[in-house]
Chain A
Amino acid sequence: MRVIEKHRNILDFTLSSLARRKGKNLSLVFVYTFVVFLIASVTFFTHSLKTEAEVILRDAPEMMVQRLVAGRHDLIPMSYMDTIRQIRGVQSVTSRLWGYYFDPTNGANYTLLVKPEEHSTSGTILVGRGVARSVRSKQTGTIPFKTYDGSYLFLRIKEVFTAESELANADLILISEADFKRLFAYPDGYATDLVLHVRNANELPTIATKITHLLPDTRPILREEIVRTYDAVFSWRGGLVIVVLLGVVLAFFILAWEKATGLSAEERREIGILKGLGWETTDVLFMKFWEGAVISLSAFFLGILCAYGHVFFTSSMLFEPALKGWSVIYPDFRLTPVISAYQISTLFFLTVLPYTVATIVPAWRAATVDPDTVMRA
């Protein structure tokens, strides 16, 4: 009880002394909160996105096979399918027909996909929300497509995909095979790439090796690689994170520097008075500890709470310009919140701890002054 009461007393003193420089300390907390907010927003956002990708890409194709010509992705002959089908362990091989289309009227890029089982009616298309938004069409409408020879192909929107699936298909246009081939003069007997299903997932690497052996101009991509790609989204090397963290680190440096050198003559004198009045060195250090803790804890909590609201309630409003870049079609990020105690504690150790230490350390020397300095002054 005595210990608690003692710390509450010291905390009282610390708070009163922080309240004296209200403007300075509040702006410190504000800047610090913003820093925590940025780090936490990036963490929450990337973590949720990664988790999301991991879950939904579990159903991605087990293996894709591309053909490369002169280092570039090229159309793959359908005849390759027979060669691959011969390999033991391959359950099925299907061809994918897809490509990109740039719509000059609104400057958007679409992904065009042919999937006969899903949609085969010529003259109509199924579109993602992002496409519908870009052509400002709620339900139906017609999009003019400029074909390879300059003529126009008018395709009617038959259906818009659900909002829930936007993260997967915002820019997708499901088009019939006939329309796709007319649009691009796509040669018969070729596909964009091939998709494989195997009997036993353990055999994937062996099958991949066999494919590259039999068809040296192809490149197999395994699902494991797909998942790994998305695990690396916005990694520490990623630009967004670097830009944010560079600012954070700089800001923190300035704060820490300010603290380290900022033990003013006034503060030193006060420490001297406290020592003279019978405070022990440890009491003074506790006082400094609380000073750092009050500021960093406040900033930490306010920061992560704001970040949560920002990422999951406002769909990362502040990141939108950065994420959008030059994209005209942009999915409405409605991420499922994924946060863990581990994440929170990592943030805690990254933000609260260094600041608190940076507050105590410079006070160390001042706290060990002899109590008689107050008399000598």
Chain B
Amino acid sequence: MPSRMSTRFVIFLVTCVALVWGMLLHAHMSRSSTGHALQERREVIRRFQLSDLCLFTDARYIRHPVAADLHTPFQDYPLSMEHFPSGSLMPVPPHLRRGGGE
């Protein structure tokens, strides 16, 4: 271990930068290696004609936000408190906010 503190810090920084590079590299490599999994998800969406990802399953408007109508995200009343915790994580879909649901 070098005695000079600045040297130690520079070594620490260089290590960090190298790790961040490794991180970017890992991300890049795993993207190409998990291509088939992504392909499989695409295939499922296409075959089953799905319109949504399965992120939350506690309420129907958050399970299929795309298919939700204007009133469901607000529990049928625009000023009511959000009932499901996940409902507060995801915003109301843009096409509903734009006065959609016509």
Contacts and interface: CB of A to CB of B under 8 A. Distances in A.
Interface of A: 8-9, 11-12, 15-16, 19, 49, 52-53, 55-61, 64, 66, 68, 71-73, 94, 96, 100, 108-109, 111, 113, 115, 118, 128, 130, 161-162, 164-172, 174, 193, 195, 212, 219, 221, 225-226, 228-230, 232-235, 237-240, 294, 297-298, 301-302, 304-305, 308, 312, 322-331, 334, 336-339, 341, 344
B85 interface: yes
Contacts of A58: 42
Contacts of B51: 57, 60-61, 64, 221, 226
Contacts of B86: 323-327
A239 B93 contact: no
Given A169-B48, A294-B9, A238 B42 contact: no
Given A8-B4, A167-B55, A239-B89, 10 more contacts: A53-B53, A96-B49, A165-B41, A172-B54, A212-B102, A225-B94, A229-B66, A235-B91, A323-B55, A330-B57
Interface residues of B, number: 67
B41 A56 contact: yes
Secondary structure dominating the interface of B: helix
Given A167-B53, A230-B53, A325-B56, A336 B34 contact: yes
Contacts of B101: 68, 71, 219
A49 B90 CA distance: 13
A159 B58 CA distance: 24
Given A68-B101, A96-B49, A170-B57, A16 B5 contact: yes
Nearest to A227: B66
Contacts of B55: 49, 167, 233, 323, 331
Contact of B67 (A19, A66, A165, A232): A66
